[in-house]
Amino acid sequence: MIAELTGRVELRAATPGDHEFLFQVYASTRADELAATGWAPAQVEVFLRMQSGAQESDYLFRFPGSSWQVVLVDGVRAGRLFVDRSRAAIRLVDIALLPEFRGVGVGTFLINHVLAKAAAAGLPVELQVLAWSPVRHHYLTLGFVETGSDSVYIGMRWSRP
């Protein structure tokens, strides 16, 4: 499945014109969680815009030189990939896909892309994952190891084998 994505998945720099799309990607990652609140759609929208803005501000503050990219599959915007590169490591800040692009190998393809870039540069890849996220186990199968945790996030690191 992953090999079939070669040539179909592209990355391009996010532009101001992608702002609403990037919000929709963020909102899609919170849909299941917020469906249980019983809030009116307008309340959900306000909450999501506030949270999305806070996340963006946090990322810009903590990773001012990060690369914000739009994921394209067959030319269609499918998600976002935020990566920060320092002299010591490449940090996978955020990877998120619209629901129709989840579970079909796009995320793994993107992670492998980041790992290949890191291996070529001789750098490890670091990330944080929500402790209860099912993707945590997928990162382990890709060779990441857990490096620490707090009550919400688990730090993970991949080093070239």
Give the chain's mean pLDDT: 94
Q: In DSSP terms, which residues pair with 155 in a beta bridge?
A: 128, 148
DSSP letter at 18 equals G
Percent over 90 (pLDDT), the chain: 88
Convert the pLDDT of each residue in 29-47 to its tens digit.
999 889 889 999 999 999 9
Q: Is 42 helix (H, G, I), strand (E, B) or coil?
A: helix
| Per-domain boundaries in the chain | 3-123
* pLDDT surpasses 90 at 6: no
CA-based end-to-end distance of the chain: 23
Q: Band the pLDDT of 3: cuts 50, 70, 90.
A: low
User: What pLDDT score was predicted for residue 160?
Assistant: 85
Which CATH code fits 3-123? 3.40.630.30
Residue 64 · residue 85 · CB < 8 Å: no
User: What pLDDT score was predicted for residue 92?
Assistant: 98
Per DSSP, helices labelled H in the chain are: 19-35, 41-62, 106-121, 135-141
Q: Band the pLDDT of 5: cuts 50, 70, 90.
A: confident
DSSP letter at 7 equals T
**Of 51-55, 131-135, 154-158, the least confident:** 131-135
Cα separation, 67 vs 161, in Å, equals 25
Can you give the pTM of this predicted structure? 0.91
User: What pLDDT score was predicted for residue 2?
Assistant: 58
* pLDDT surpasses 80 at 64: yes
User: What pLDDT score was predicted for residue 24?
Assistant: 98
Whole-Å CA distances, 122 to 18, 30, 92, 115, 158: 32, 35, 16, 10, 11
User: What pLDDT score was predicted for residue 39?
Assistant: 94
CA 133 to chain centre: 13
